[in-house]
Structure 1
Amino acid sequence: MDPLGVGVIGSGFMGRTWARVATLCEGTELRAVAGGKRAPGLGADFGVEVMDSVGALIARDDVDIVVVTSPPNAHVGQVLAAAENGKHVLVEKPMARDSAECVAMIEACERAGTQLAVVSQHRYRDAPLAAKRLIDEGAIGSVRMVRVSGLDAWWDMTETHDEWKLDHEQIRVFADWGAHGCDVLRWFVGSPAVLAYAQYHTYADQPPPGQSILATYRFANDVMASVWMTYEVPEPRLGSALQFLITGSEGMIDVDAYGAVKLARDGEWSTVFEQVPFDSLDTGSAGRLEAYRRELDDVVQAVRTGLPAPVSGREGLLTQRMLDAVELCAQTGIAVDLTEPA
């Protein structure tokens, strides 16, 4: 079966990541890149054509899947253009700036009959997968409460040369991290959020605002969760940037998305899985790239079968609504009812 052609929009850290992934996936072939000041170097490194515009990339006959890695404020326009040209889309997180844009993207792809998938590599990483299997197998009984934490000492994108993320108008701090934290939380819980309350603050003198967040969610199956994100803890920090403590009726699971998975049963803790270490800032790290390759494999299967991708646009919308609720509640001080239509 012929490989599907991939075009990558954006040439930053994630653009380079997805260009590499497209060369690793057996079902795809990287055809072209476009967008961003680093596009010429990216195209040269991978031996593909650099298009002079995003529109030109989308219009190529040999591009079947468009991977959108541009800043979130560009996502909706680029996804709509791809759908109009009959292209399947894999869009980086956060899916968009708000739920209304997500709905527009979903509707455009559904009208066009094309796939819309959202990046959520942590669902494909070994440690979270091990935890999800334990939950699904009933290892802790029914899930009751979850604590999610992402505790870091810096909000500085200079290491990845993505300084645009320092602009609060282009991306909210919580949206960047929460697109992962909230998506994996909802995946573990197995139910949509129905109520949210949150506060945020920045303790440091430098922007952007909202570098520390405390949020709570209630889900349709009555699971309750707390979410603690901050980029303002002192060294040596408090573990990795994505951790979960899941309590159930019969046990508990402690999950480090970058490390160990521990199970508490019968009054004792045991380590049931240990993630092989990798460099999260290395675009060529095989250990880091494997999760992305698995997701692209699933997108290829969705294109070939016509079935929705596991992390579809509608999945992305549910996560975006959780992010929007935090922003709204932090501004108003009023809990947000997520049972209302988006």
Structure 2
Amino acid sequence: MTGVGAFGVGVLGSGFMGRTWSEVAARHTPGTRLVGVAGGRRAAALAADYGVTSYGSLGELAADPAIDLVIVTTPPAGHHDQTVTLARAGKHVLVEKPMAQSVAECAGMVDACEEAGVSLAVVSQHRFRAAPVAAKRLVDEGAIGRVCMVRAIGPEIGFWDTSVTQDEWKLDPAQQTTYASWGAHACDLVRWFVRDEPDLAFALFHQYGPVGPPLRSAMATYRFRGGAMAQVWMSYDIPAPGLGSGLQLQIVGTDGMVELDAYGQVRLGRGEGWEVVFAQPPFDPLDPTSAPRLSAYAAELSDLVGAAAQRRPPLVDGRQGLATTAMLEAAERSARDAVAVPISLAPVSGTG
């Protein structure tokens, strides 16, 4: 660890999430300092905005001894090779979701980091955001009994305007499929709440209308080993006025229910009625400098720094990222082949 009590952080990628994580490392996470940025056409300008080094390549960033940890914000097609390079250079890694494009790539990333003795975490900021954390606390305390059914929905009125964030690569399914982009959040949260691993997936993908990336509406059903069921419904084809925020979950237990809006209220349903137990303060999800938005990212970065210092797994480690990718991969294969697809995984931690 460089400096006195500060982890040196490098950011790989200079798009919207590159700026987000640069802001988090530089100004919102105690114990970290932003050292430099590499990758993408905006790297030099982003580095100049924060007064840090602009590296000409991943190799230059990886070779800098001032950097202890690298946040990978590039398109998922590059995540495997970039993470392996960073691990071999002795850097801890926080990689944006989706972790990679296949389970095999994820396994290679996990192996490389374990062999190098460095920590690997996968971005899942909703596990650190106040509303989902409040809902998880209810579940863990037994407020609704054993979880048996979960539905996660993401109803969006059209695909977002990538010209605003200048991340047009998100329209290219060779770089990132639409289901993998949004489903990485939903599948990770579903596993987190169920506290079990899925063993079967069945899905249908489609698109309605000419505007936006292909296969931008999806319905996927998952069966879990212990008998729980989950439905993940994502669509960027919802007409106005819409159906609420872009990430909502209904968690049904044997003794009650939790209704979660990741950007709004958490409600507990038991007996004769519903009770609001938490309300998320509003924020702009497209503002890369919004403190209320960035608090969840800062909490995840703090967790990784603590994990690296204490030699413990981060709360969302590479094995959990692999499990989420297995859910995405199985659903995409199911939708392509119109068959139910088995999912086989070793148990992973349900903590966090």
TM above 0.5, yes or no, is yes
Secondary structure of 1:141's counterpart equals coil
Q: Work out the CA distance in 2 between the residues paired with 1:59 and 1:267.
A: 61
Aligned residue runs from structure 1 range 216-295, under 5 A: 216-295=221-300
Is residue 2:195 matched to residue 1:190?
yes
Q: Work out the CA distance in 2 between the residues paired with 1:17 and 1:236.
A: 29
Give the aligned partner of residue 109 of structure 1.
113
Secondary structure of 1:171's counterpart equals coil
Give the aligned partner of residue 137 of structure 1.
141
Secondary structure of 1:127's counterpart equals helix
Secondary structure of 1:174's counterpart equals helix
2:229 maps to a residue whose letter is M
Q: Work out the CA distance in 1 between the residues paired with 2:328 and 2:65.
A: 36
Q: Work out the CA distance in 2 between the residues paired with 1:204 and 1:243.
A: 24
Q: Work out the CA distance in 1 between the residues paired with 2:110 and 2:128.
A: 23
1:76 maps to a residue whose letter is H
C-alpha contact (below 8 Å) 2:8/2:67 kept by paired residues = yes
Secondary structure of 1:253's counterpart equals strand
Q: Work out the CA distance in 2 between the residues paired with 1:39 and 1:237.
A: 36
Is residue 2:303 matched to residue 1:298?
yes
Is residue 2:65 matched to residue 1:61?
yes
Residue 120 (structure 1) shift? 0.3
* Structure 1: runs of 5+ lacking an equivalent: none
Q: Work out the CA distance in 1 between the residues paired with 2:129 and 2:216.
A: 26
Aligned residue runs from structure 1 range 88-107, under 5 A: 88-107=92-111
Q: Work out the CA distance in 1 between the residues paired with 2:114 and 2:44.
A: 33
Q: Work out the CA distance in 2 between the residues paired with 1:341 and 1:292.
A: 28
TM-score for both structures, normalised by structure 1: 0.98
Q: Work out the CA distance in 1 between the residues paired with 2:47 and 2:345.
A: 45
Residue 206 (structure 1) shift? 3.6
Is residue 2:15 matched to residue 1:9?
no
Residue 187 (structure 1) shift? 0.4
* Structure 2: runs of 5+ lacking an equivalent: 348-352
C-alpha contact (below 8 Å) 2:197/2:345 kept by paired residues = no
* Deviations, residues 133-188 of structure 1 (Å, cap 9, x unaligned): 00000111111111110000122322221111011111100000001010011101
Secondary structure of 2:327's counterpart equals helix
Q: Work out the CA distance in 1 between the residues paired with 2:181 and 2:315.
A: 21
Q: 1:340 to 1:20 in 2, by over 3 A?
A: closer
* Deviations, residues 239-290 of structure 1 (Å, cap 9, x unaligned): 0010001111111110000000001111201111000000000001000000
1:301 maps to a residue whose letter is G
Q: Work out the CA distance in 2 between the residues paired with 1:179 and 1:340.
A: 17
Residue 26 (structure 1) shift? 1.0
**What is the aligned counterpart of 2:54 among 23, 40, 50?**
50
Secondary structure of 1:179's counterpart equals helix
Give the aligned partner of residue 43 of structure 2.
39
Q: Work out the CA distance in 2 between the residues paired with 1:317 and 1:175.
A: 13
Q: Work out the CA distance in 2 between the residues paired with 1:340 and 1:66.
A: 28
Q: Work out the CA distance in 2 between the residues paired with 1:332 and 1:226.
A: 19
Q: Work out the CA distance in 1 between the residues paired with 2:345 and 2:258.
A: 32
**What is the aligned counterpart of 1:160 among 128, 149, 165?**
165
Give the aligned partner of residue 324 of structure 1.
329
Q: Work out the CA distance in 1 between the residues paired with 2:323 and 2:333.
A: 16
Q: Between the two proteins, what is the percent identity of the paired residues? A: 52
Residue 340 (structure 1) shift? 6.2
TM-score for both structures, normalised by structure 2: 0.95
Is residue 2:175 matched to residue 1:170?
yes
Compare 280-289 and 331-340 and name the one that shifted more. 331-340
Residue 204 (structure 1) shift? 1.2
Residue 60 (structure 1) shift? 0.4
**What is the aligned counterpart of 2:87 among 83, 100, 108?**
83
C-alpha contact (below 8 Å) 2:158/2:212 kept by paired residues = no
Residue 54 (structure 1) shift? 1.2
1:2 maps to a residue whose letter is G
Give the aligned partner of residue 20 of structure 1.
23
* Deviations, residues 61-93 of structure 1 (Å, cap 9, x unaligned): 000001100000111111000011011000000
Give the aligned partner of residue 350 of structure 2.
none
Residue 208 (structure 1) shift? 2.0
Q: Work out the CA distance in 2 between the residues paired with 1:341 and 1:304.
A: 27
Secondary structure of 2:344's counterpart equals coil
Q: Work out the CA distance in 2 between the residues paired with 1:172 and 1:258.
A: 24
Secondary structure of 1:195's counterpart equals strand
